[in-house]
A and B are shown apart, each in its own frame.
Chain A
Amino acid sequence: MFTFKRLLFRIHKYKRLRASHALALAQSALILSLLPQSAHAHAIAGDRVFPATLEVDDPSVATELSLPSVGWSRGSLDANGNFPNSTNIGAEFDLLIAPNLAVGISDGWNSQTAKGERGVYGFDSVEVSGKYLFYENDEHEILMSAGLVVDIGGTGAANFGDDGTSTFTPTYYFGKGMGDLPDSMALLKPFAITGTIGVAIAQNRSNPDVFEQGITVQYSMPYLKSAVKDYDLPNFLNHLIPVVEIPLSVGLNNGAHTWGGTVNPGIIYIGNTWQFGIEASLPLTAGDQHGVGVNGQFHVFLDDLVPAFFQPLTGRI
């Protein structure tokens, strides 16, 4: 049974882990800064730049930082008749260690509050990942990657789902731009889709394994201007990418066969070294969320912002 003392122990343990992770990252950054090598970055296939989407991970490998990622929504009806406010503030750092291989680490802090109730606060489990870009086709604007995401058990708060066991999610990532459509469909060329398919395998076999999939549909105004037709639109508009993200999941066993997910329409402003995105979050099913939520993210392409500092450990393009 969960106790407050146990929660404090977990948070303390988690903070020690965070400190060691930070030290490791600092050491890595120092090493990388000493290596004079070339690098590839961004999610680029020919004319196409796939932005970093907020909910569904994009198919690229790059050195980049999402800080902060903020999400707010109202939870489902609780025992006191409230729809609690749920807020998550997170960050993710990804590091290119070879031209097609990146590792990442992320975490988030949660708060859940409701009128007249004691607030609940805590961190998510620390998430580490590795992703390998195994296919790139510039002509047809295709990227494909495969990776493994690990939620490290015991590094998060128990009241936010960490039961001390880990979850392993092998994931396939893809992106496809529509730039190869015939010229008679030129205005559709800026469209692109990206997606992920994965299965979260629980270390604790009494927990359900979960099939996770996500898809995004996006329309790139930068692509329209640079590869289809320059309409002399205001510069601000030429940096926008309207996007709809649809993350979905369903339990596969242990009696958890309910679909859950949201539809997230939003917009991303993309510059050369950073981007900002904001989305609404509309629940598709009567699950954990009540009403419309909001997600926002500031994202930095570190290997473009500080190219001499963030280079892959090996290889050139």
Chain B
Amino acid sequence: MSKSTTIRILSQATAIAILFGSHTSAVAHAFLDNATPKVGSVVTTPPKTIRIQFTQRVEVAFSHIHLFAPGGQEIAMGPAATDPSDQTQLSAPVTGALAPGQYEVRWDVLSVDTHRTNGHFPFTFQP
């Protein structure tokens, strides 16, 4: 097998892989792309909803958002839901009361290709 043949085979294999990728809908690990409240932000009014935009579509039945107060106690939240027109957006209403302080949002999701990811980020409520 000549060097040029080897390179041609490798090129074709790469092309096939890319072709497979392009025919597969956007699937991969779901990572946080942006959030409301923004990651690390300071808000002057307590958020009514925590919304997270992921890099991939997520399965709502296996995806969760939790909110924790500065002392570590969990704040009551409603069930998480995805945007009907955009399955990459997961949100959950905040039903508990928030006192001033730094809060931590913890999320765990299952992307549509079954990869699990989790993470957390802070925001501060300072009226």
Contacts and interface: CB of A to CB of B under 8 A. Distances in A.
Interface of A: 15, 18-19, 22, 38-42, 44, 46-47, 49, 65, 67, 91, 109, 138, 183, 186, 222, 225-230, 272-273, 300-302, 304-309, 317
B40 A272 contact: no
A317 B116 CA distance: 8
Contacts of B6: 18
Given A230-B40, A305-B24, 17 more contacts: A15-B1, A42-B29, A44-B117, A109-B3, A227-B32, A228-B121, A228-B122, A229-B40, A230-B35, A230-B38, A272-B31, A301-B28, A305-B17, A306-B24, A307-B27, A307-B115, A317-B116
Contact of B121 (A227, A300, A302, A308): A227
Given A109-B3, A225-B39, A227-B119, A302 B17 contact: yes
B61 interface: no
B42 to A, nearest CB: 10
Contact of B120 (A227, A304, A309): A227
Interface in B68-84: none
25 contacts: A15-B1, A40-B116, A42-B29, A47-B120, A67-B10, A225-B34, A225-B39, A226-B31, A226-B39, A226-B121, A227-B121, A228-B39, A230-B38, A272-B28, A272-B31, A272-B55, A301-B28, A302-B17, A304-B27, A304-B29, A305-B20, A305-B21, A306-B20, A308-B24, A308-B113
A227 B28 contact: no
Interface of B: 1, 3, 6, 9-10, 14, 17, 20-21, 24, 26-29, 31-35, 38-41, 55-56, 102, 113-122
Nearest to B110: A38
